[in-house]
Structure 1
Amino acid sequence: MKKFGLILASIGLAAAMAGCSKDTSSSSGGNDNESVAVVLKTLSSPYWKYVEAGAKAAGKDLGTDVTIVGPASESQIMEQVNMIEDSLNQGIGALVVSPSQPDTVVPVLEQAKQSDVPVLLIDTDADFSDKESFIGTDNLTAGKEGGKLLASMLKKGDKVALIAGALGNSAMDQRVKGAKEALEEAGMAIVAEQPADSDKTKANTVMENILQKNADIKGVFSANDDMAIGALRAAESKGLSIPIIGTDGTVEAIQSVIDGKLAGTIAQNPYEMGYQGVENAVKTIKGEKIDARIDSGIDVITKENAQEKLEFLEGITK
């Protein structure tokens, strides 16, 4: 009888412990694992370094374990997909992704949903209905602002060129679309539109090819700053001084604006994207509701305000 009583007591203790464990989990309102994986398009360009800096800062401020990865270049689509899969296999609490090619990434995001891992998208949206939020700039608006800025430096009928990113990169596509709309509305003649894969060297070559066919180009809009700088080098090598507008607001581009080379850049807030991505990921892990769309805003940078923006960016990357 004594032995039977001990068994009953043990069963009762185990049940009580199980009940306590269940209650603790439900009262937390979310996942016990607060680690956040951030998978970017790449870590090789200044723009994504700012996103990385913001994500790291949020992790530090919130006391959250944050891992940040990205392919060697934005064109390595499948490598990014593999990185997302690897992150999910680590048993993370939430996933923050900037998809290089949204349609290709969606199937692996479905895996995250099946594993009850909340997904937040930053910089570039995707047709994934189960995402918790999209945090980023309206890229169409950013492109329109760039087109307006370029048009303000030209006269009606002037020939302009558009330099796009990698094919299928929806953020770049939207920027070019916005710029094209603004330029055409202002009466500019768009005589060339070519991709340069967000690469300076490719953009240099692309611009050289454009100039061979259209030596009387009066201005250029580029979907990112690296390509704008590549196009600038090609124009300078031909002795041309024409307004070239970039997008992203990198330190190199802003310094070029200060130096009177690039005419301007449309700056997103990549640091805020990274910070808010991690901050809101932690909220979803804890079961808190967040907005389905969070706009991180844009800044139009010209020589008038470039120095102020440069000082801010240099401060966050120290």
Structure 2
Amino acid sequence: MRKRWRNILFICAVLCVVFIGYTVTFAKKDKPEIVVVLKESDIQYWKIVKAGAEKAFKDFGVQGKVVAPETTYPAENQIRILKNVLKEKPKALIVALTEPSITVPVLKEYKKNNIPVLLVDTGANWDGQTAFIGTDNPTLGRKAGELLASMLQPGDKVALIGGGNSVFVERSAGAKDALGAAGIGIVSEQSGYNEIGDLKPVMENLLQAHPEIKGVFATDDIMALDALKVIEQKGLNIPVIGADGIIKLIDYIEKGTLTSTVAQNPYDMGYISVENAVKAIKGEKIPKRIDSGVDIITKDNAKEKLDFLEKVLKER
């Protein structure tokens, strides 16, 4: 009888160890160390940012996850996600803010819980952020304006398609400085999205009101592609400069439809943000602002850029 009880106790002890080990392992897998919250899940640009972040999770051996609402607007979609993530108490948060002005109060709650907050792609006027990783948008706009001006003649007229958020405003301001310095006039500056984030038929209206337009700068690639579609349908030869470096726009350059564009480095943004979140968790000092750079994409390097982006998206 004693032997039987000893066997039973031994089996129970083994099961307890197994159960505890399973529970700890499950909890570790279920509780991310780093959470990346993006603006939208189904846009290629954000998929590239996600690919960079996930590569960094592997390279730095951290448990992490990337989450995003299905649509960017309303901005409350992202706020709900941020509130839910806070309950998980990650060791660090990385977030691309949809509407900084209404989201910062939620980020302050992370700060109260001693969770480092790193902003990626879109900055905010908030002293509590650990770091910002992204594009220097005035510089991007300036390079875009210089590139567009190089395709035109002094006195030519162009249109800017942007919007009201801080990123688009900064890019437009940089472009206007460069275009003005080159003697290029701006006949119109239009918002490419409505209040719920849907594209507006801007290019069609611009060409009707200003048939003299010789070039277009759009502050993101989705608006650039929409403008290019209208231009192609009308059989016109008007250069369009985008800003993000997504596959379809680069494909136009590789095929010769466009000559060049400027491009952010969304993959690098995702990777660098995780790299620095790991440093922040360890208590290491990191720069307050990290520039992920701007590339000029031409026929010479478009194929290389395309191959890289297609590879990282395929690997996801």
TM-score by length of 2: 0.85
Paired residues of 1:94 and 1:119 also in contact (CA < 8 A): yes
Paired residues of 1:200 and 1:231 also in contact (CA < 8 A): no
Aligned pair partner of 2:242 in 246, 255, 273: 246
Identity of aligned residues (%): 49
Aligned counterparts of 1:263 and 1:102: Cα–Cα separation in 2: 35
Q: Extract unaligned runs of 5+ from structure 1.
A: 1-32
Aligned pair in 2 of structure 1 residues 147, 74: CA closer, same or farther (>3 Å)?
farther
2:260 partner amino acid: G
Aligned counterparts of 1:304 and 1:99: Cα–Cα separation in 2: 34
Instruction: Quote the residue 1:202 is aligned against.
Output: 199
Query: Alpha-carbon deviation of 1:34?
Result: 6.3
Instruction: Quote the residue 1:156 is aligned against.
Output: 154
Aligned pair partner of 1:98 in 96, 99, 103: 96
Aligned counterparts of 1:44 and 1:172: Cα–Cα separation in 2: 20
Q: Does 1:303 align with 2:302?
A: no
Q: Does 1:124 align with 2:86?
A: no
1:197 partner amino acid: Y
Paired residues of 1:248 and 1:265 also in contact (CA < 8 A): no
Aligned pair in 2 of structure 1 residues 201, 124: CA closer, same or farther (>3 Å)?
closer
Paired residues of 2:41 and 2:47 also in contact (CA < 8 A): yes
RMSD, aligned α-carbons: 1.8
Residue deviations 1:180-231 (CA, integer Å, cap 9, x gap): 111111111111111113999725x110011110112100001111111100
Instruction: Quote the residue 2:255 is aligned against.
Output: 259
Q: Extract unaligned runs of 5+ from structure 2.
A: 1-30
Aligned counterparts of 1:200 and 1:309: Cα–Cα separation in 2: 28
Query: Alpha-carbon deviation of 1:260?
Result: 2.1
TM-score by length of 1: 0.85
Instruction: Quote the residue 1:147 is aligned against.
Output: 145
Aligned counterparts of 1:72 and 1:180: Cα–Cα separation in 2: 33
Residue deviations 1:159-179 (CA, integer Å, cap 9, x gap): 1011104x3x21122111111
Aligned counterparts of 1:190 and 1:89: Cα–Cα separation in 2: 49
> How many residues matched?
283
2:63 partner amino acid: D
The answer to which of 132-141 and 301-310 deviates more is 301-310
Paired residues of 2:32 and 2:65 also in contact (CA < 8 A): no
